[in-house]
Amino acid sequence: MTPTRTAPGPAGHRSDDHRSDDDRRRALLRTARDVADDLAADAIARDQAGKPPTDETTRLREAGLPAALTPPGPGRGADWHTGCAVVREVAAADGSVGELLARHYVHAWSGRFYADHEHATALEEESVRERWLWTGAVRTPSHHDTGGSDLALRPRTTGYALSGRRCVDTAVAAADQIVVDAVCAATGDVLVVRIPADVRGATVEPDHDRLGQRVAGAGRLVLDRVAVAPAQVLGRRPHDEESTAPVTALAEPALRLALCHVGLGVAEGALTEARDLSRGGHAHRMPGEDPDLFLTYGELASAIQTATAVVDRATEVMARALATGAHLDAEVPADVAALVATAEAVMSKAALHVTARVLELADTPGLDRFWRNARVLTAHRPVAQRLRSIGEHYLNGPHRAVAADFH
């Protein structure tokens, strides 16, 4: 799909003018707000239809968001703070599209997580130039992972043949590039590769009738001897945490943290919509008629603010770690993962509580989509498991092995 508008921000970049970065950031956030307003206008109808995000990705491309949400470089990309702010803004209007953008942004970092510097830079420049939309499903090494891989690479004269199946949570039929990991049948190495979505031998089985996040475009990717050129191999993913490069170990917590911003956006969107309905006279009780209503809104707003503070702290630490890159200290990823796990635990509790309570404040058709979206976003990350991992990290210290428990 050819965008009708270019990515936000100035086309050029002057390295000696720091205002250009600020200008591009402000322009990108304005674009995100415009896209969010557009998505909010028909969010209920699109959620009810539950169709693949063809229209939604077109809107994103026209606004230039896929090209803008790439790792920062000279005159391009978005820093971690800005990228997460864009994701959260869009998620408040539409949780499905927010998740789609979050996964796009993190998978666009795949070159920095797995490839060498030269390869990563070339890949990011091409992604901006071609306005690629990214998705993927990369598994991480874990002490509890004994099931093996569902994708296999078989060496060819040049490159590999990739076969198998993999569930992808967003844009499986709408993305341009898909990042997955697969086991090399000849060596046993786990390689992270990217494949064009329209490559020969790749088919998609859409996931219909989801409880929530119904417009995210989830589905199963089926690969039958898909050709993978050497340039499409980003790097090797070690079998265990101890041998994983520190910057590579950030890949999984970065994705989970981006999804925390999606969850926060969903909670904020739910509370904002309930407030607007209350002001408009569509709720059970009108503002000013019952002091308990003020108490309830105060409680819910405080819950979101508390979760925001925790998520923002993890975001700041992640931003510093990503900026350090290849020079990252070996013990930092475990500390980052602990903060992300804390953010997940607090965000999950707040998002589920807020989105459930607003249904009591304003029993209006369509408001339930926020709760359903929050349920799907948090269902596979039990809070109790996160809290145990956080406790172990607190008691035993930030050694590398503990990081596996946060996956």
Residues 53-86 have pLDDT tens digits of 999 999 999 999 999 999 999 999 999 999 999 9
Q: Is position 28 within any domain?
A: yes
Q: What is the pLDDT of residue 243?
A: 85
Placement of tokens 């925001």 in the chain = 308
Q: Is position 9 within any domain?
A: no
The torsion region of residue 136 among left (phi > 0), alpha (psi -120 to 50) and beta comes to left
Q: Is position 269 within any domain?
A: yes
Q: What is the mean pLDDT of the chain?
A: 90
Q: What is the pLDDT of residue 194?
A: 98
Q: What is the pLDDT of residue 134?
A: 98
Looking at the structure, tell me whether residues 271 and 254 fall in a common domain. Answer: yes
pLDDT bin (cut points 50, 70, 90) of residue 213 is very high
Q: Is position 82 within any domain?
A: yes
Query: Among 229-243, 277-291, 308-322, which stretch is predicted with the lowest mean pLDDT?
Result: 277-291
Q: What is the pLDDT of residue 383?
A: 79
Looking at the structure, tell me whether residues 139 and 126 fall in a common domain. Answer: no
Q: What is the pLDDT of residue 406?
A: 59
Query: Among 45-54, 75-84, 308-317, 357-366, which stretch is predicted with the lowest mean pLDDT?
Result: 357-366
Looking at the structure, tell me whether residues 384 and 257 fall in a common domain. Answer: yes
Mean pLDDT of 327-339: 93
Provide φ and ψ at 154, rounded to 5°.
-115, 125
CATH code of the domain in which 118 resides: 1.10.540.10
Looking at the structure, tell me whether residues 208 and 264 fall in a common domain. Answer: no
Q: Is position 6 within any domain?
A: no
Q: What is the pLDDT of residue 19?
A: 59
CATH code of the domain in which 346 resides: 1.20.140.10
Q: What percent of the chain has pLDDT over 70?
A: 88
Q: Is position 168 within any domain?
A: yes
Looking at the structure, tell me whether residues 225 and 160 fall in a common domain. Answer: yes
Give the residue from 237, 264, 296 where a domain finishes: 237
Q: Is position 389 within any domain?
A: yes
Report the 10 Å Cβ neighbour count for 130: 12
pLDDT bin (cut points 50, 70, 90) of residue 282 is low
Name the residue range of residue 253's domain: 248-406
Looking at the structure, tell me whether residues 64 and 104 fall in a common domain. Answer: yes
Q: Is position 318 within any domain?
A: yes
Give the residue from 133, 161, 195 where a domain finishes: 133
Q: What is the pLDDT of residue 407?
A: 58
Q: What is the pLDDT of residue 279?
A: 79
Looking at the structure, tell me whether residues 271 and 386 fall in a common domain. Answer: yes
Looking at the structure, tell me whether residues 73 and 156 fall in a common domain. Answer: no
Looking at the structure, tell me whether residues 193 and 281 fall in a common domain. Answer: no
Give tens-digit pLDDT for 11-55.
334 444 455 889 999 999 999 999 999 999 999 999 999 999 999
Give the residue from 202, 237, 272 where a domain finishes: 237
Looking at the structure, tell me whether residues 199 and 275 fall in a common domain. Answer: no
Q: What is the pLDDT of residue 105?
A: 98
Q: What percent of the chain has pLDDT over 90?
A: 76
Mean pLDDT of 383-387: 80
pLDDT bin (cut points 50, 70, 90) of residue 208 is confident
Looking at the structure, tell me whether residues 191 and 178 fall in a common domain. Answer: yes
pLDDT bin (cut points 50, 70, 90) of residue 121 is very high
Structural domains counted in the chain: 3
Looking at the structure, tell me whether residues 50 and 156 fall in a common domain. Answer: no
